[in-house]
Chain A
Amino acid sequence: MSEAVSALDGASHEGFVRVEDMGLRAMITLRGDLASATLRKAVKAAAGVDLPEARGIEVAGDRAVAWMSPDELLILGAYDAAQELRDKLEKDISGEHALVADVSDARALLRVSGGVGAREVIAKLCPVDMAPEAFGPGQFRRTRMAQIPAAIWMPDAQSVQVVCFRSVAEYAFNLLRNAAAPGSEAGLFI
């Protein structure tokens, strides 16, 4: 098999915060009835994480489950576990009216880290209230980042992770890099 690389191939940039490509991750889209006991059990078994509340994300190690919409979850894992995750989910929810799709290679994952400035970088680009009392770790938000759809969450108070489509990864990286340009700090959340 050919060697898979992420769209940005590990690119990084040091601004007033650090912007970097996080490489490849397994991303499985699961659509179905999120109230279904079978589906909830299957997700827990595959990801090893409880189902998140609405607009939330549950993280444990390199596995995570994010709430995408009232009938959709995004399951993250190590890139080489994608096939295994998908197969396991598909087997466990067979019979349910649900869809499992491996979208690992359709997405890009970026990280903005290195301080509360990470909040500011996102606040410049997304119509999201990034104040610490409005958005923080544990929450997951799908939104618009300049001209593209993106989803964000905070693994900790100092950094933000961004998922977007692979086809616009470079655009997303450049956006974040510009927003993190030294000297452009607005000092909003300090």
Chain B
Amino acid sequence: MLILTCPCCGVTAEETEFHGGGEAHIKRHGPGSSDDEFHGYLFEKVNPKGVHFERWRHANGCGKWFHAARCTVTLEVFGTYSAQTTEPPQDIKDRISARRPGWSWREFA
């Protein structure tokens, strides 16, 4: 079971107080984009074994969205951070590098 800390309200709870919102840092393609781009935006999600970035919502708490970096193998949570960003902050990346040297995820490493 995941133990997540909501960066918005500071509460630490197990995952049933939250709701997963799928993959993080997805670039949205809407009107004006090509069919391929739109298809990619809708369907092409990564399903990594190891480091993963996700969106979560503190559904039964403060109600805010945030990002989480975790390992899909061990359920280790490397950290949570604000939803108002398009890439993981450096301190989160550093923490992952310390635990999983040489990691990469989409364009981030």
Residues of A within 8 A of B (CB): 54-55, 68-70, 72, 127-128, 141-144, 149-150
Contacts of A69 in B (CB 8 A): 8-9, 61-64
Q: Does B47 contact A (CB under 8 A)?
A: no
Residues of B within 8 A of A (CB): 8-11, 13-14, 16-17, 59-64
5 A-B pairs closest in CB distance:
A69-B62, A144-B60, A149-B60, A142-B61, A127-B14
Q: Contacting A70 at CB < 8 Å: which of B13, B17, B59, B64?
A: B64
Give the tally of cross-chain contacts (CB within 8 A).
37
A–B complex contacts, Cβ < 8 Å, 5 sampled: A69-B64, A70-B9, A127-B13, A127-B14, A143-B61
Chain A facing B: main interface SS: strand
Contacts of A54 in B (CB 8 A): 9-10
Contacts of A143 in B (CB 8 A): 13, 17, 60-61
Contacts of A149 in B (CB 8 A): 59-60
A154 to B99, CA, bound (A): 39
A72 to B64, CA, bound (A): 11
